[in-house]
């Protein structure tokens, strides 16, 4: 509901006559990870050709615009502007057209560089004239320096150099002039990257299967380099894996049919809903369960099943699928919330409802939805259940969280989740501000249980204040103005 967003999706295809069409269709399948801009680059006869523009993949990568792009290798990208403005010139893929033939490459990436400011200052000291304010140019310069030192024939060494200089999250797809496709996933593997043995890479496995149903898809491991070229496919472990996977991939960002490192997204959402139901002692018996469209549906279904209560999936209708409210100012966000959701009074009037959503960030759009459920839907009681813990801290690894001062929980709570839950008095205050009868969040400790992994393999910095990289922790401490206590793992 609060519309968190992730920085981009990456796609690469090689060794196919229909590489352009396959890459474009996968980009359209991954549009939920972007929406600001989309683009596609091919390598043909030693040169790069690119089509990119602001807009959704289905609007940009049309058959008409792709006419004339014929090649056996292509990379594509869906962009959301986590770092840098929504400037068409920042759409990816990015092409580096060097005068030196061995330094030419095209790439796209997703993530965020936590030490971007340090890298920017370093470039200024070197005398580099930076043309943008975003992270992409900084990452390109790190890749270029690695190529200048090791050449494109040793991409493992190149990305080893990038790892040594970059603090943050980055999945990269790279295209060389001869059609070689490479993909690299950073050693902490914060966001998903998948591949096939016949030369396809993409952020989510389900997007590949939707376009190529027969594909055998496996994860690219954290710290692993995937290379597909004239010598076939290679998997090179560049760095020892140190997994710190973003738990929001399971709770919100990834398609529910996807797997993130062989763990089902849909199963995790269902488990979260069941745990919420088991912990809920405040909702009146026989309440109806209503999801906020669209990512909360699986959790709400599981909640209802666990309770044995009716599930009403049509109580709230998403009138603008794919439209997001997170980029707008508060008045604009409220107006978009009015237009986005249809309230069905016939199924809600006079009822006590359990409203299940995936997260709560600012609270602006939730307040508007609650107001409409009461005024237009005639709902008697509203009990809000969130399938993630309270968000207390910013993200520096690719998630579009607002500043601390914008987080609704931080208006009323300035501690850490030592027990995984907020104090009852804080919950009552937040419920009153939103206009609901009660509110409960999924405890921190429930997340690894729902996903089926150890908490130490997850990045949960936004809900614990414990950051998995030095620069991320320093930035958080600076934002807090103090050192946050560490939640035990």
Tally of CA atoms within 13 A in the half-sphere of 433 that contains its CB: 18
CA distance 349 to 175: 56
CA distance 105 to 172: 12
Question: Which residue in this structure is represented by tokens 């370093």?
Answer: 122
Pairing of strands 9-14, 263-264: unpaired
Q: Could you confirm whether 246 is annotated as catalytic?
A: no
Helices (H), 127-167: 136-150, 155-165
Question: Which residue in this structure is represented by tokens 């999936």?
Answer: 313
- Whether the link from the prior residue into 294 is cis, omega within 30° of 0, is yes
Closest CA to 23 of 96, 95, 81, 72: 72
CA distance 306 to 310: 11
Q: What angle do CA 325, 326, 330 make, to 5 degrees?
A: 80
What are the tokens at 324?
A: 């997001």
CA distance 205 to 65: 26
CB neighbour burial string for 260-283, b if at least 16 within 10 angstroms, e if fewer: bbebbbbbbbbbbbbbbbeebeeb
- How many other CB atoms sit within 10 Å of the CB of residue 31? 19
Closest CA to 96 of 157, 139, 61: 139
For residue 50, with 0-12 CB atoms within 10 Å meaning exposed, 13-18 middle and 19 or more buried, which class applies? middle
- 241 within 8 A of 247, measured Cβ to Cβ: no
Looking at 324-430, which runs of residues are DSSP E strands?
A: 341-343, 352-357, 381-386
Query: CA 402: distance to chain centroid?
Result: 14
Q: Which residues pair with 172 in a beta bridge?
A: 109, 184
207 conformational bin, left if phi > 0, alpha if psi -120 to 50, beta if neither: alpha
Question: Which residue in this structure is represented by tokens 């790892």?
Answer: 163
What are the tokens at 99?
A: 């005068």
Closest CA to 78 of 100, 59, 65: 59
What are the tokens at 262?
A: 């062989």
- 267 within 8 A of 445, measured Cβ to Cβ: no
Catalytic residues: 8
């Amino acid at each position: 509901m609060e519309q968190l967003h992730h920085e981009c999706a990456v796609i690469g295809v090689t060794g196919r006559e229909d590489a352009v069409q396959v890459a474009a269709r996968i980009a359209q399948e991954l549009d939920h990870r972007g929406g600001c801009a989309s683009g596609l680059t091919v390598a043909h006869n030693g040169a790069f050709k690119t089509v990119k523009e602001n807009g959704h993949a289905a609007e940009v990568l049309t058959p008409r615009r792709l006419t004339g792009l014929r090649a056996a290798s292509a990379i594509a990208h869906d962009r959301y502007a986590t770092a840098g403005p929504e400037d068409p010139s920042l759409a990816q893929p990015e092409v580096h057209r060097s005068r030196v033939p061995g330094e030419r490459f095209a790439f796209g990436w997703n993530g965020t560089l936590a030490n971007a400011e340090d890298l920017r200052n370093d470039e200024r000291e070197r005398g580099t004239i930076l043309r943008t304010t975003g992270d992409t140019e900084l990452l390109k310069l790190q890749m270029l320096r690695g190529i200048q030192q090791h050449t494109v024939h040793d991409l493992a060494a190149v990305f080893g150099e990038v790892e040594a200089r970059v603090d943050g999250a980055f999945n990269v797809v790279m295209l060389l002039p001869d059609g070689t496709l490479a993909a690299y996933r950073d050693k902490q593997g914060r966001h998903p990257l998948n591949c096939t043995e016949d030369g396809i890479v993409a952020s989510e496995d389900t997007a590949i299967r939707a376009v190529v149903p027969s594909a055998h898809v496996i994860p690219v491991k954290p710290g692993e380099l995937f290379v597909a070229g004239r010598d076939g496919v290679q998997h090179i472990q560049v760095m020892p894996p140190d997994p710190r996977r973003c738990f929001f991939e399971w709770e919100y960002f990834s398609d529910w049919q996807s797997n993130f490192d062989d763990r089902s997204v849909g199963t995790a959402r269902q488990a979260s809903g069941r745990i919420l139901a088991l912990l809920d002692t405040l909702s009146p018996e026989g309440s109806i369960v209503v999801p906020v469209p669209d990512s909360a549906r699986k959790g709400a279904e599981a909640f209802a099943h666990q309770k044995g209560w009716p599930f009403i999936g049509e109580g709230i209708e998403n009138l603008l699928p794919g439209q997001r409210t997170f980029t707008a100012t508060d008045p604009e966000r409220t107006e978009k919330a009015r237009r986005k959701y249809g309230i069905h009074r016939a199924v809600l009037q006079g009822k006590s409802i359990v409203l299940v959503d995936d997260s709560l960030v600012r609270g602006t759009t939730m307040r508007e939805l609650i107001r409409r459920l009461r005024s237009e839907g005639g709902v008697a009681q509203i009990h809000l259940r969130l399938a993630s813990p309270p968000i207390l801290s910013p993200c520096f690894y690719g998630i579009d969280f607002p500043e601390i001062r914008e987080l609704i929980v931080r208006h009323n709570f300035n501690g850490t989740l030592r027990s995984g839950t907020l104090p009852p008095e804080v919950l009552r205050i937040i419920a009153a501000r939103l206009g609901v009868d009660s509110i409960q969040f999924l405890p921190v400790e429930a997340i690894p249980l729902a996903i089926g992994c150890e908490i130490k393999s997850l990045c949960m910095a936004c809900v614990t204040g414990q950051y998995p990289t030095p620069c991320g922790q320093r930035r958080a401490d600076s934002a807090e103005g103090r050192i946050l206590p560490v939640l035990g793992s």
